[in-house]
Amino acid sequence: MNTMTKMTLKTEGDTHLVVTRHFAAPPEVVYRAHLDPKLIQKWMLGPEGWTMPVCINETRPGGKIHYEWTNGKEGFHLTGEFLELEPYTRIVHVERMHLPDPTPDNHIETRFEADGAGTLMTMRMTLPDPQTRAAMLATGMERGMEASYVRLESML
């Protein structure tokens, strides 16, 4: 994989999780692909075999977010609210998964910065407490699990 596009996922402090990714398109385009339901339905799908039949974004502060995924057998949904929208630069929202019980609120700030001809996206998630973050990512266990990551990848 190209190092320019390689995703990073790391923890910050006790309650944050930061994802960065470079895209070969300007911030205006990447920003739009993060808000337009028709576009989101084409990429925010997770593992192979899942589709997103419902995608509602009320793109204004206080506007609702409602996404639903299914793999034909099982499904789950996500709800949230937009807090701030700075065109082409920044999206701030909260979201929770319903599995079916709602997970604690995840506060997410997504920034889009021009990076050469492309965009550096930085998504900073803030979880209410360290336990919740641990549930999203087992801090410090990554190294110890490297071997089984490799094993799992060879299975996929």
Partner 1 sequence: MFSTPNLNASFAALADPTRRAILARLASGEATVMELAQPFEMTQPAISQHLKVLEEAGLIIQRVDGTKRPRRLAKAGIDAMDQWLAMLRKALEKNYDRLDEILATMQSHTKGKKR
- Chain contacts with partner 1 (rule: CB under 8 A): 5, 7, 9, 19, 21, 23-25, 29-30, 32-33, 39, 42-48, 74, 76, 97, 99, 130-131, 134-145, 148-149, 152-153, 156
Instruction: Output the smallest distance, CB 19 to partner 1, in A.
Output: 7
Instruction: Output the smallest distance, CB 44 to partner 1, in A.
Output: 6
Instruction: Answer whether 57's CB lies under 8 Å from 63's CB.
Output: yes
Helices (H) and strands (E) in the chain, counts: 4, 8
10 Å CB burial of residue 105 (0-12, 13-18, 19+) is middle
- Nearest residue (CB) to partner 1, 59 versus 131: 131
Instruction: Output the smallest distance, CB 119 to partner 1, in A.
Output: 9
- Nearest residue (CB) to partner 1, 54 versus 136: 136
Task: Tell me which residue has tokens 């990076």.
Answer: 115
Instruction: Output the smallest distance, CB 89 to partner 1, in A.
Output: 17
- Nearest residue (CB) to partner 1, 49 versus 61: 49
Among 119, 125, 59, residue whose Cα is nearest residue 89: 119
- Nearest residue (CB) to partner 1, 61 versus 66: 66
User: DSSP per residue over 99-126, as a string?
Assistant: SSSBPPPEEEEEEEEEETTEEEEEEEEE
